[in-house]
A and B are shown apart, each in its own frame.
Chain A
């Protein structure tokens, strides 16, 4: 994960540790798709990946106090997810855990979005999105790629492109809006 993204994660984690469920939910929304994709690459089952993703975030919530920030937050989540996925292969352990730990027993409301889950496991859809990103207007694409692929901060991008930070922020947002629109119109609606 990117270092600037880590700062906000750290802030959200501190708030979550102080009992702010909303802050934790933001983190879940932020990382759910990638956790789901990682788990799907192990299980090849949508249902099991969803169960495992929920178990992952439940564990993350339960163990949040033990997260010291030595690694990026996503790396920590990923490790928990992978360990759960390993247990999945010794299926009896996983099934036992599924029965014993129910997400409904907690105060967590873990949102998942079926359409996003569908896209993230289909290489063709991901390729289409990537190809669309390449067609973005040059000014938007440059800021977007410097952020998403190179992990540059807004300030660094502003220096590289010689534009004000506010413009960088707006360009990255507009690029994302265009990509989101493409996904809604060309991928989700075409299914």
Chain B
């Protein structure tokens, strides 16, 4: 006969038959010790995937997030400056547009749409999603651990199958995550975090690969290129 605790272990792993689940739910809900066992298993999983360096990052997170925001503001200022130059050019060339039969009304509508609250909200929301994504990369070990491994041997990275779901090449170690490019990124974005880097690289098929580790930009781009093939 299988021990009830062993059944809970199998339930935690999602390895129980549906017919066994209902009875077990009743039993667990009537017994505080069994409820605690599930939480214990979650603690054990957390400890098993625990990396001391992750904690150091968490401790320095506020400063890093500040850096991240500072960089973002700096970047935004550049964009604003560029936009100002473009707008200036647009305004000063309106006469030229009219000479070339450009539809000024359409141009104004586009400018108005770009500057609208709705458009700005969309930009703000996508930045929030991006911030969420980066924070999860840093704080949730399972977030970068949630996918099947891919073959990166053609760019020299070997899968490390014990302990962490990561790839290594010499001194370089990296974890990767591939998903739909819901952030709408068109270009590579990257951040430095401690001695690690986070790269977000759009790849073919409207997908985005997130790379987190102590790897160079050239290695990151090689991996992305490999995923494109």
Contacts and interface: CB of A to CB of B under 8 A. Distances in A.
Interface string A150-168: 1101100000000000000
Interface size class of B (residues with CB under 8 A): 35 or more
B89 interface: no
Interface stretch (A59-67, A99-107, A175-183): A175-183
Interface string B130-165: 001001100110110110000000000000011111
> From DSSP, what is the main secondary structure of chain A's interface residues?
helix
B42 interface: yes
Given A8-B16, A38-B140, A148 B161 contact: no
B39 A29 contact: yes
Given A22-B28, A169-B9, A1 B132 contact: no
A127 B9 contact: no
B47 interface: yes
Interface in B108-139: 132, 135-136, 139
Interface stretch (B30-38, B205-213, B219-227): B30-38
Contacts of B165: 149-151
Interface of B: 3, 5-6, 9-16, 18, 21-22, 25-26, 28-29, 32, 35-50, 52, 55, 58, 61, 132, 135-136, 139-140, 142-143, 145-146, 161-165
Interface of A: 1-9, 11-12, 15, 20-23, 25-26, 29-34, 37-38, 41, 72, 74-75, 78-79, 82, 111, 113, 116, 119-120, 123, 125-127, 129-130, 133, 144-145, 147-151, 153-154, 169-170, 172-173, 176-177, 179-180, 183
